[in-house]
A = this chain, B = another copy of it.
Amino acid sequence: MAEANGAAPLLDGTKDYQPLRKKMYDLKKPHITEFPITWGNWYKHVDWLNTYFIIGVPLMGFIAAYWTPLHAYTAIFAFLYYFQTGLGITAGYHRLWSHTSYKATAPLRIYLAAVGAGAVEGSIRWWSRGHRAHHRYTDTEKDPYSVRKGLLYSHIGWMVMKQNPKRIGRTDISDLNEDPIVVWQHKHYIKSVLFMGVIFPMLFCGLGWGDWQGGFIYGGIIRIFVVQQATFCVNSLAHWLGDQPFDDRNSPRDHVITALVTLGEGYHNFHHEFPSDYRNAIQWWQYDPTKWSIWLWKQLGLAYDLKEFRQNEIEKGRVQQLQKKLDQKRATLDWGTPLEQLPVIHWDDFVAEAKNGKGLVAIAGVIHDVTDFIKDHPGGKALIGSAIGKDATAIFNGGVYLHSNAAHNLLSTMRVGVLRGGCEVEVWKRAQSENKDAIVVND
């Protein structure tokens, strides 16, 4: 924050992203993304390095797998290593470094930085910076993997196609720059990836049971592909499939399928509302092995200061979202003509019209036309018929039968007028029948 930065429009705690390895982009030269894609330049839009690692290498791996027998031990190892490198992303890159939702001792941080590198999704520093921008600018132009640009874009397109570095929202990563493990991993990223991504699995399977090739293909290449695709789902599937129990203004959604694929990162609507909660799933029966691992590390003394939002805050979000849905639903229903839009009718006109055969009933100062309902009345024709041309307020509300809520709703759809004098009609009626002066206020 203290460093002045020419491009910063606001003193908002952010600065332009400073690559530590490559030389800085020349921000003045127009970027390729500023030109539309044509038949002549499309290959310049593709980020060939990323494409090679995300699509090319796995493709070669699948082809090579055809000639590589799958050893049972290697299969088990690949699965377990998939899980650990996945945790490197979910528990490490995501919940620890991007969101600081808990604190980890140095040994755990080293472990997570190592297995996280094995997932081959960029350095912690690069990943967290993008992820913080994703949270801060969700669904906007500044979101690096905005689902508004399409599901495929949010899944993989944002890496396969070159991105304008100026586009991505600015975030503060000063805390990451202060973590020596993060900085080390960033500076030695290629070495880390090579070792954790392929050499380590190859060594493990090779020294363990002599399956060097299987360790390379299954424990390395194919496992990387699976981990990548699984964790990419947090950016695509989790913004596209499922419910929005906490807020529906943005795209994040909760779905068990996403959770199953992403080691528990599928409760993403919750996560975007409560990003610094170390949990993504808040119910014990929901699948969130990342949360379970963090909790276990806490028991082992490796993790501490696990952050949780108060249940009160969580429930408030839920209540408000439900209210919103309910209000939307309510607006689609017919609740009867609002009273202020009804004509005002005099008692005598009401009685006269009822005598002329219209099925009019006065209840609570409102006149209802029940003509078409008489034959359907659950309490029988006779009873409802006995109320025509009369004030049935009392008999409708318990005098004869205490009608249900449903009956009151139905009644309001039959409104046709408001009685002059409203609820005081009975006083007025009595006065009239006793031939006294009826006080009618004409307003």
Contacts and interface: CB of A to CB of B under 8 A. Distances in A.
A433 to B, nearest CB: 18
Interface in A367-405: 376-380, 382-383, 386, 395, 399-401, 404-405
A177 interface: no
A73 interface: no
Contacts of A395: 12
Given A312-B333, A322-B326, A410-B313, A247 B382 contact: no
11 contacts: A13-B380, A172-B380, A246-B406, A247-B404, A249-B405, A273-B404, A273-B406, A309-B406, A313-B410, A316-B406, A320-B409
What bracket does the count of chain A residues touching chain B fall in?
35 or more
B382 A273 contact: no
Nearest to A274: B406
Nearest to A412: B316
Interface string A1-37: 1000000001111000000000000000000000000
A437 interface: no
A172 B333 contact: no
Interface of A: 1, 10-13, 99, 136, 172, 174-175, 246-247, 249, 272-276, 307, 309, 312-313, 315-317, 319-320, 322-323, 326, 329-330, 333-335, 376-380, 382-383, 386, 395, 399-401, 404-406, 409-410, 413
Contact of A172 (B174, B382, B399): B382
Given A13-B386, A172-B382, A376-B307, A405 B312 contact: no
B272 A1 contact: no
Contact of A320 (B249, B319, B405, B413): B405
Closest 6 CB pairs of A and B: A276-B378, A273-B406, A12-B400, A316-B409, A13-B383, A247-B405
B273 A405 contact: yes
Nearest to A332: B315
